[in-house]
Structure 1
Amino acid sequence: MDRLIQANGQPHFGIFAEAPGLINHRDFDFRSPMGRRLGSLAKWRRFHQFQYFGLISDQLIGGCALADLSLAGVGFVYLFHPPSGRMLERQFKLPLGLGTRFSQRPDDGICQLRSGRNLLRLENLGASREKRLLVELDDGLRIDARFSESEPGFQPMCLNTPTAVNGWTYAQKVAGVRCSGRVSSSLGDFDLAAIDAFAHHDWTAGYMRPQTHWNWACLSGQAAGRRVGLNLSCGVNETSFTENCYWLDGELIKVDTVRFAFDREQPLQPWAIDSHDGQVALRFEARGLHRQRSNLGILASDFKQVFGRFCGVLRPAGRDQVVIDNLWGFVEDQYVKW
């Protein structure tokens, strides 16, 4: 599919075998809930986009996100060192997205934020099917990490769902892939291939609900000699289709709806995550937390990303179950007004 929005102004919906070439949101026939056609200003204000790159290993856990919220460009990066329990965090907010750049090509483009001598950059390299994260901060922290989707048979989860009465959300997820590169920081210097790091990636854009909430779970690693990745969510991308899935040695396996059972006021307490079809039964024990809270009136966010260990089972239909035994990963609880 070359473009997500069709000639009649309506999006393609469904789960796709591959990503659209362009998220041409400006061609969307955007209307009010009562059917009035909306102009370019409303399209700019209501369109939001974000991208996330995560790292997982026993020695180092990290995450970097960039978001275009129309009224602001935001980004964060953090590193957590499990052996010592030490953590580094930086956050950036730029009014009207000044100093940011966002491509609408999920598999071939650059998204970046530059603030003074600080750079957060996410590259999607079409020719090589690589995803690259480059972070250079004024305190000396540097991350140069990448992974490839070029292995035969690997398929990312790509889907577009109706959102509320007049919107849509395109999401593209990857997990369970090996990561290479280097990290230099006050926590130490790390060769990501040498510490057997895995990566996960999220590229999302669309006309989302003005107020929304979601839970998310992701893990990547090795289980019973197999590469395993997991992507589960509840609260977004669940209209007609869901993004829930896991990967076994790069093979995408679809999952039904899921339930997250946890205490919102105590996110470091254990979580239980189970799918309606019985394929997923996991328990999560927290080890650390990255949190951002802001309330600017028209923009607000309460974001909790918790990293820790998963235990439980995956039960692919007609196959032996896969035991998940203390694999590192993430859960998330987020409320957004935008």
Structure 2
Amino acid sequence: MSRYQPLLTKAPAQLIQANGQPAFGLFDASVVDFNLQDFIYQNLMDNKASALARYFHYKQFQFICVTGSDWLLAVAIADIRYANSGFAYLYRFDMNLAVSKGLLLPGALGCRMSDSPSTGEAKQQFGAYQVTIKTSLTDWQLNINTKELKASLAIEKASQMPMALCAPTGYNGFTYTEKSNGLKVTGSLEFQSKALDLAQALAGYDFSAGFMRRHTSWRWASVNTMLEGKAFGLNMAAGVNETGLCENALWFGGHIQHLSPATFVFDRKDHTKAWQVGSLCGEVQLEFTPLYCRQEKVNIALLASNFRQYVGFYSGFVWLQDGTRLELNTVKGLAEDHYAKW
């Protein structure tokens, strides 16, 4: 068991500082003002980057997961400049059934994004498909309108500290990431015109934006569940945001605990084999058994994506900072393996 616990930096009032560069660190709160117009973006030879490079190199995505008693909902919107993509799917554990809808549209067609994880609205719409994510200082509001999925949900985020960091990316970029798991959910959710029970539902969100690597990849794990009568959330990732920092954290009863770097062992060619998800200092030792995989492969001109997001069960244990061992016994969660050229 590790006593690893990093020092937090007070969240800056603005992400971009007086010198035109981002404030880097692991923050104690969300950064409200992104003031991206003040960022001095340079190319690899330290010259001012062109307006086209500045526009096309900036990427952003938002993701929300809601886990209920016998179902899991996942929703994403991504702006990768050359195109925008998104999906909404719901997996029923009791029926071993998934209903999924995804979009890939050119440029900014049908899509707009928020400049901040604390204020604004992200939206993707095309035909009968519409997903909207509104964020404020107190909550995230998710609205879905598709043929088989309809939702009007509020996810309470003010009840606990998020995992919020800004890290250098590559030689001249940066990535801001904010995540929180184990959050209370209210509102309504319909699956094939039938209301789903939200009494036991918990949610997690992910806001990520910045000047990211042209070629990037990551492995990721996420859990929202109840343990010992308290809300529990977990976020683990490897491959990004690791330039002196890492985005790994758990939440238990509303309190955040930062974790050491993550390790993932899995078979990319066999979607049925279990994953081993752990941490460098031993706080996390889990096995993930996949049940369903949402996948897509895109390889066109400037863009490539090899994406696999799995729904399944986690079993194992985590150590809390006070020495308490929490057991996870077939709890619902997500795992992801993704390569992108964007």
Residue equivalent to 1:309 = 313
2:164·2:176 contact (CA, 8 Å) conserved in 1?
yes
CA shift, 1:187, in A, is 7.5
Alpha-carbon distance between aligned partners in 2 of 1:315 and 1:99, rounded to the nearest angstrom = 44
Same amino acid, percent of matched pairs: 31
Which of 126, 142, 149 is the aligned partner of 2:150?
142
> Is the aligned partner of 1:17 residue 2:28?
yes
SS where residue 114 of structure 2 aligns? coil
The CA deviation at 1:335 is 0.3
**Which whole-Å CA distance do the structure 2 matches of 1:323 and 1:77 have between them?**
30
Within-5 A mapping of 1:173-322: 173-186=179-192, 188-193=194-199, 196-322=200-326
Q: Which residue of 2 aligns with 1:171?
A: 177
Q: Name stretches of at least 5 consecutive residues in structure 1 with no aligned partner.
A: none
Residues of 1 paired with 2:212 and 2:39: CA distance? 13
**TM-score, L = length of structure 1:** 0.95
User: Could you tell me how far apart the structure 2 residues matched to 1:165 and 1:312 are?
Assistant: 38
Within the alignment, does 1:67 sit opposite 2:90 as a pair?
no
Q: Which residue number in structure 2 is paired with residue 45 of structure 1?
A: 56
Q: Tell me if the contact between 1:81 and 1:187 (Cα under 8 Å) persists in the aligned partners.
A: no
| Residues 86 and 72 of structure 1, relative CA distance in 2, 3 Å threshold | same
The alpha-carbon distance between structure 1 residues 60 and 286, as it changes in their structure 2 partners (threshold 3 A), is: same
Give the Å deviation of 1:140.
4.7
Which of residues 119, 131, 147 in structure 2 aligns to 1:120? 131
Distance in 1 (alpha carbons) for counterparts of 2:106 and 2:35? 24
- Cα separation, 2, equivalents of 1:187 and 1:326: 29
In the TM superposition, residue 186 of structure 1 has moved relative to its aligned partner by 1.9
TM-score (norm 2): 0.94
Deviations, residues 200-232 of structure 1 (Å, cap 9, x unaligned): 100000001000000000101111222110000
What are the ranges of 5 or more consecutive residues in structure 2 without an aligned counterpart? 1-11
Pick which of 328-337 and 315-324 moved more.
315-324
Q: Give distance in 1, aligned partners of 2:148 and 2:67.
A: 21
Whole-Å separation in 1 of the counterparts to 2:239 and 2:341: 14
Q: Conserved in 1, the CA contact under 8 Å of 2:24 and 2:167?
A: yes
Q: CA deviation at 1:268?
A: 2.8
Q: How far off is 1:6 after superposition?
A: 1.0
TM-superposed CA distance for 1:67, in Å, is 0.6
For 2:37, the equivalent position in structure 1 comes to: 26
1:133 maps to what in 2? 142
